[in-house]
Structure 1
Amino acid sequence: MDIQTLFGLDGKVALVTGGATGIGRMAAESLVRAGATVLLASRKGEACEAVAAELNALGASGKAIGFAGDVGTEEGVDALVAAVKDRTETLDILMNNAGITWGAPMGQFPFKAWDKVMNVNVAGLFDLTQKLLPMLKASGTVDDPARVVNVGSVMGEREMGDGAYSYSASKAAVIHLSKILAKELAGDAITVNALAPGPFVSRMTAFATHDEEMRSKVGDDVPLKRVGRDEDIAGCMLFLCGRGGAYITGAVVPVSGGINVMSGPNIFEQALH
Structure 2
Amino acid sequence: MSETAEPTGPGRVVGTPVTAVYPELRGKAAVVTGAARGMGARFAAALAARGVDVVGADIDADAMAVTAKEIAEEVAGAEGPGRVVAAGMDVTRAEDHEAVAASAAREFGRLDFWINNAGIFPFAEVGDVTPAQIRATLSVNVEGVLFGAQAAARHMRPGGAIVNMSSVSAVRVRRGRGAYCASKAAVAHLTESLAVELGDQGIRVNSIAPGYIDTEMTRWVREDPKALQHALDVVPLHRLGSPEEVVGPLLFLLSDSARYVTGHGIAVDGGSRHV
TM-score (norm 2): 0.84
Where has structure 1 moved over 6 Å in runs of 4 or more? Answer: 211-214
Using the TM superposition, give the Cα deviation of residue 16 of structure 1 relative to its aligned residue in structure 2, in angstroms.
Answer: 0.4
SS in 2 for 1:184: helix
Kindly state the Cα deviation for residue 76 of structure 1 after the two structures are TM-superposed: 3.7
Q: Decide whether aligned partners of structure 1 residues 176 and 35 sit closer, same or farther in structure 2, where only a CA change above 3 A counts.
A: same
Once the two structures are TM-superposed, the CA of residue 156 in structure 1 deviates from its matched residue by 0.6
Find the aligned partners of 1:212 and 1:92 in 2 and give their Cα distance: 42
Whole-Å separation in 2 of the counterparts to 1:150 and 1:181: 10
Contact 1:46 1:67 in 2 (8 A): no
- Identity level (%): 34
Aligned to 1:269: none
Indicate the SS of the match to 2:212: coil
Deviation at 1:183, TM superposition (A): 1.2
Residues 38, 63 of structure 1: 8 Å contact kept:
yes
Give the 3-state SS of the residue equivalent to 2:30 in structure 1: strand
Kindly indicate whether residue 235 of structure 2 is the aligned counterpart of residue 191 of structure 1. no
Q: 1:35 aligns with which of 43, 51, 55?
A: 51
Contact 1:32 1:38 in 2 (8 A): yes
Residue 91 (1) aligns with residue 111 (2): yes
Q: Alpha-carbon deviation of 1:7?
A: 5.2
Q: Give the drift of 1:12.
A: 0.5
Structure 1 counterpart of 2:167, which letter?
Answer: S
SS at match of 1:186: helix
For 2:23 and 2:224, how far apart are their aligned partners in 1? 33
Greater alpha carbon shift after TM alignment, 224-233 vs 145-154:
224-233
- Evaluate the alpha carbon distance shift between residue 220 and residue 78 of structure 1 in structure 2; reply closer, same or farther with a 3 A threshold: same
**Corresponding position of 1:154:** 168
Alpha carbons of structure 1 residues 176 and 90: separation in structure 2 relative to 1, 3 Å: same
Distance 1:7 1:246, change over 3 A: farther
Aligned 8 A contact 1:200 1:228 in 2 = yes
Q: Which residue among 208, 228, 236 is the counterpart of 1:223?
A: 236
Q: Contact between 2:160 and 2:202, CA under 8 Å: does it hold in 1?
A: yes
Task: Name the structure 2 match of 1:48.
Answer: 64
**What's the RMSD between the two structures over aligned residues?**
2.2
Note the residue ranges of structure 1 that are not aligned, 5 or more in a row: 263-273
Contact 2:237 2:271 in 1 (8 A): yes
Q: Tell me the residue number matched to 1:111.
A: 131
**Matched position secondary structure for 1:23:** helix
AA of the residue aligned to 1:107: G
C-alpha distance in 2 between matches for 1:170 and 1:247: 27
| 1:43–1:70 CA contact under 8 A, matched in 2 | yes
**What's the secondary structure of 1:149's corresponding residue?**
strand
SS of the residue corresponding to residue 164 of structure 2 reads strand
Give the length in aligned residue pairs: 252
Tell me the distance in 2 between the aligned counterparts of 1:23 and 1:213: 24
Once residues 107 and 213 of structure 1 are traced to their aligned partners in structure 2, the CA distance between those partners, rounded to angstroms, is 24
Match of 2:183 in 1: 170
Query: Secondary structure of 1:196's match?
Result: strand
Map 1:126-145 → 2, pairs under 5 A: 126-136=146-156, 138=157, 140=158, 145=159
Q: Distance in 1 between matches of 2:202 and 2:267?
A: 24
Structure 2 partner of 1:254: 267
**Structure-1 separation of matches of 2:69 and 2:95:** 28
Please, what TM-score do these two structures have when normalized by structure 1?
Answer: 0.84
Distance 1:54 1:67 in 2: 15
In the aligned structure 1, how far is the partner of 2:190 from the partner of 2:248? 23
Unaligned runs of 5+ in 2: 1-19
- Following the alignment from structure 2 to structure 1, what is the Cα–Cα distance between the partners of residues 142 and 161? 18
